[in-house]
Amino acid sequence: MKQVLFAKIISSPVGDLLLVASENFLKQITFLKHKKDVSLNGFVENRNLPILEKTQQQLEEYFIGKRRTFEIPLLLKGSEFEIKVWRELQKIPFGETISYQELATRVKNKNYARAVGNANGKNPIPIIIPCHRVIQKNGNLGGFGGGLEIKKYLLKLEQIHR
């Protein structure tokens, strides 16, 4: 039986965000700034589903500097390695950054900085799984699925509210 997924589009300081969840778990956050033709086909639009409401509330608190960690149950789908990387990302403290190489060391694969970068790029729940906190060893920002302007914004926001 196919799982029913619910969706809600919310506004944020970094543009509209598409939230996707099962009945009890957040599955995806997508930046809509670069995906102008996103539709809710395949999803049940639900503005009042508790998990979507809770996610919206916690994101709003994050964007005004009142939330540093998230308490949202997540549904992660990926390889064992990707999920390991995403879990490690959640341990990076608010307002801090680490390098891809450091992240690779933390997941016990110090020579796999590129693989860690790829897993980082496949993160289905940005902001809540803070892949924006990973930068290059030389201090450059590296990539970000939502675009570098959004990555800069998130890092600056966290520095201000540290």
Helix and strand numbers, DSSP H then E, in the chain: 5, 6
Longest dimension (CA), the chain: 48
Spatial CB neighbours of 157, under 8 Å, sequence gap ≥ 6? 13, 63, 65
Q: Is 84 noted as a catalytic residue in this protein? A: no
Task: Name the catalytic one among 116, 131, 154, 155.
Answer: 131
CA dihedral 36, 37, 43, 44 (to 10 degrees): 80
**CA 76, 74, 77: angle at the middle one, nearest 5?**
10
Residue count of the chain: 162
Contact 58, 71 (CB under 8 A): yes
| 91/24 Cα distance (integer angstroms) | 23
| 160/91 Cα distance (integer angstroms) | 20
Active site residue ranges: 131
